[in-house]
Amino acid sequence: MTLVAASLAVITLDYRGGENGPLAGLGRTALTVIVPMQRAVDTVTRPIGNFFSGLAHLPSLAERNRQLEAENRELLAAAQANGYKQGLYEKLSAVLALRSTLDPSAVPAVVTGSGVSNFEWTVTIDKGSDAGIARDMPVVTGTQDGAMLVGRVVEVSTNASIVQLMIDRNFSVAGVLADSRATGLVVGEGEDDMRMGLVEPGTAVGGNESVFTQGICVADQPGLYPPGILIGQVSRTVPSSNAIEESVSVRPAADFSTLEFVLVLQARTSCS
Amino acid sequence: MIRRVLSIAVIILTALLLQSTVFAQIKLVGVKPELMYLVTIIVAILEGPREGAVVGFAGGMAQDFLLNQPKGITALTLTLLGYAMGLARQYIVSPSPLLPTMLVAAGTAIGTAFWQIMATLLGQYDAPLSYAVKVCLLTALYGAVLTPIFYPLLRRMLEGSRPQRVVRY
C-alpha cells in the first residue's frame, strides 16, 4: 500500500514538476551512473546482438546458409584482418569528416545503448552537458557527402544524454521534398516508416524522392533543425482520406539498428 | 540482510543493462523483452507478494529514470504486478513445471497493458491499438521463452542470499 502511494506521489510530482522537478535531478544522476556501465556491456555484447539481429532478418535460413557458406571463405580472410575494428574506424572517420563540413560546431559521440522501453525509441550517448550538449539539440550521422537526421536530445546529464530518435511516435520535424519542393510535417511511427502529412493535395511525389529538413519551427513542437539534413526517402504514397492534405510514407535514411557514432549539432534550438 | 539487498540491486541493474544493450538488438518481430517485468514476476513467485512488490517498485523506479515519460508509471505497474503475482502464486496449486512460464506470460501481458492504459490516461502515449496489442502479446511470448533461462538463475541467487533462519532452544 505504501509503495503504491509512493508511486502515485512520484507520478504526480514528476508530472507537475516536469524537467525542473525534483525527480528530474535524480533521473540525471541515474543516467550519469548507468551510461559508463552500459558502454562497457555494449562493447562486449554488440557483436552478439548484431549476430542475432542479423539472424532474425534472414528471409530463408536454408537458402541464405548455402550462399553464406560460399561467401564464408572470402570473408574469413577479411575477418582475420580485424574487419570489425576496420568498420568502426571507417564509420568514425566518416562521421568526423562530416563534422568538418558542418557549419555549427558539432560534438561527436558514441552510442552506448538503446531505450529500455517498447514504447519509446531512444538511444543513450556518452557525451553530456560537460561537452556542451543541451536539451533539444539536433543529432545527425552520415558521411562527408551529407548529414542524415537521427533525432534530438531530450535528456542531459554531465557525461551522458538521451536522444529521441526521429522514428519515435512523439517526434516531428518540418520536411521538404527534394524535387517537387512540397513541404509537410514528418512524424515518427515507431518501427514502421515515418509519415509525412500536410502535403499539398495534387503534388506529384516520385518514388524514392528524398526528404530534407526545412529549418523552420513547428508550432507546439520542440526542436529546430538546420535546413538540408536528409530525413529519408519516400517509400509510398498513402491514399488520401480527405481533400485537405496528402500523406506519404518516408523510409528513414539513417539505419538505427547499426548506429554507433553520431554528431550533436550545437545549433540554435528554438525560434523564440 | 545487506547481502539480500545487494543481490536484489545486482539483479535489477543487470536486467536494466541487458535490456538496453544486448536485448535492444535481439527483437522478436520488432519487440524487445520486458526484463524488469520478468524479474518482478519471478521474485514474486519465489518470495511472495511482499518482496514482489518491493522489487517491482525498486526495479520500476530504476527503469523510469531512463525513460522520457513521467517517472513512476513503471514503478506503480510493477508494484501492483509483483504483489498480485505473489498472491496468485499462493492460491494456485499445480505441480506443473510450466507454471512459472505461464505466470510470466500472463503477468507480462497484463502489466504492459496496464502501463499503456496509465500512460494513455496521462496523455503520454498514443500508439494505435494494433501496436498496443502486439506489444502485450509478443512481450508475453518473449518473457515465456526467457523464463526457463532466468528462473533457475534467479532462484539460485535469491536462495543464496536468503537470511538464515535462527532456531533457539
The alpha carbon of residue B164 is apart from the nearest alpha carbon of chain A, in Å, by 26
Q: Whose CA is closest to A128, among A159, A153, A102, A104?
A: A159
What angle in degrees, to the nearest 10, is found between the helix axes of A2-17 and B73-91?
A: 160
Confidence check: pLDDT of B154 > 80: yes
User: Which residues between 3 and 32 in chain A have a beta carbon less than 8 angstroms from any beta carbon of chain B?
Assistant: 3-4, 6-15, 23, 26-27, 30-31
Q: Which residue has the higher pLDDT, A97 or A159?
A: A159
Rounded-to-integer distance, Cα B57 and Cα A29, Å? 18
Q: Cβ of B22 and A191 within 8 Å?
A: no
pLDDT digits (tens, 9 = 90+) for B70-104: 788 999 999 999 999 999 888 887 778 888 899 99
Residue among B18, B20, B23, B34 with most chain A CBs within 10 A, to mutate:
B20
pLDDT computed for residue A75 by the predictor:
67
Chain B residue numbers touching A191 (CB-CB < 8 A) = 30
Confidence check: pLDDT of A51 > 90: no
- A247 CB-side CA count, 13 A: 13
Query: In whole angstroms, what separates CA B161 from the centre of its chain?
Result: 19
Contact yes or no for A218/A163 (Cβ under 8 A)? no
Contact yes or no for A136/A269 (Cβ under 8 A)? yes
pLDDT computed for residue B1 by the predictor:
76
Burial tier of A270 (Cβ tally within 10 Å: 0-12, 13-18, 19+): exposed
Section A117-132 average pLDDT? 89
pLDDT computed for residue A190 by the predictor:
86
A271 part of contact set with chain B, CB < 8 Å: no
Of A10, A38, A190, nearest to B127 by CB-CB distance is A190
Mean pLDDT highest for which of A50-59, A106-115, B72-81, B122-131? B72-81
Phi, psi (degrees; rounded to nearest 5) at B26: -95, 85
Q: Where are the beta strands (DSSP E) in A70-145?
A: 106-114, 122-125, 138-143
Residues constituting chain A: 272
pLDDT computed for residue B114 by the predictor:
94
Section B94-116 average pLDDT? 90
Of A27, A34, A119, nearest to B16 by CB-CB distance is A34
pTM, rounded to two decimals: 0.79
User: Which residues between 154 and 213 in chain A have a beta carbon less than 8 angstroms from any beta carbon of chain B?
Assistant: 154-155, 162, 164, 169, 190-191
Residue among B14, B22, B27, B63 with most chain A CBs within 10 A, to mutate:
B22
Q: Which residue has the higher pLDDT, A121 or B27?
A: A121
Q: Which residues pair with A109 in a beta bridge?
A: A262
Other Cβ atoms less than 10 A from the Cβ of A126: the count is 18
DSSP B165: P
Q: How far is CA A150 from CA A88, A173, B64, in A?
A: 18, 11, 23
Q: Cβ of A34 and B122 within 8 Å?
A: no
* Average pLDDT score over chain A: 80
Confidence check: pLDDT of A103 > 60: no
Residues A171, A173, A178, A180, CA torsion sign: positive
Section A96-118 average pLDDT? 78
User: Which residues between 113 and 152 in chain A have a beta carbon less than 8 angstroms from any beta carbon of chain B?
Assistant: 113-120, 122, 124
* Average pLDDT score over chain B: 88
User: All 3 cell numbers of residue A78?
Assistant: 577479411
pLDDT computed for residue A57 by the predictor:
59
Q: Each residue of A178-207: b (16+ CB within 10 Å) or e? A: eeeebbbbbbbbbeebbbbebbeeeeebee
B117 part of contact set with chain A, CB < 8 Å: no
pLDDT computed for residue A256 by the predictor:
87
Contact yes or no for A175/A182 (Cβ under 8 A)? no
Section A241-255 average pLDDT? 83
Query: In whole angstroms, what separates CA A146 from the centre of its chain?
Result: 16
Contact yes or no for B27/B11 (Cβ under 8 A)? no
pLDDT computed for residue A150 by the predictor:
93
Q: Each residue of A24-43: b (16+ CB within 10 Å) or e? A: bebbbebbeebbebbbebbe
Confidence band, pLDDT 50/70/90 cuts, at residue A87 = confident
Query: In whole angstroms, what separates CA A254 from the centre of its chain?
Result: 7
Rounded-to-integer distance, Cα B113 and Cα B117, Å? 6
pLDDT computed for residue A179 by the predictor:
84
pLDDT computed for residue B157 by the predictor:
86
Q: How far is CA B155 from CA B42, B44, B47, B146, B161, in A?
A: 8, 11, 9, 14, 10
pLDDT digits (tens, 9 = 90+) for A160-188: 999 999 999 888 898 888 888 888 889 99
Residues 6 or more apart in contact with residue B36 via CB below 8 angstroms = A116, B12, B15, B16, B19, B59, B60, B62, B63, B74, B78
pLDDT digits (tens, 9 = 90+) for A58-86: 555 667 777 778 787 776 766 666 666 77
The alpha carbon of residue B97 is apart from the nearest alpha carbon of chain A, in Å, by 28
Q: Which residue has the higher pLDDT, A257 or A262?
A: A262
pLDDT computed for residue B136 by the predictor:
93
The alpha carbon of residue B32 is apart from the nearest alpha carbon of chain A, in Å, by 6
User: Which residues between 91 and 110 in chain B have a beta carbon less than 8 angstroms from any beta carbon of chain A?
Assistant: none
Residues constituting chain B: 169
Contact yes or no for B73/B119 (Cβ under 8 A)? yes
**Share of residues in chain B with pLDDT > 90 (%):** 45
The alpha carbon of residue A213 is apart from the nearest alpha carbon of chain B, in Å, by 24
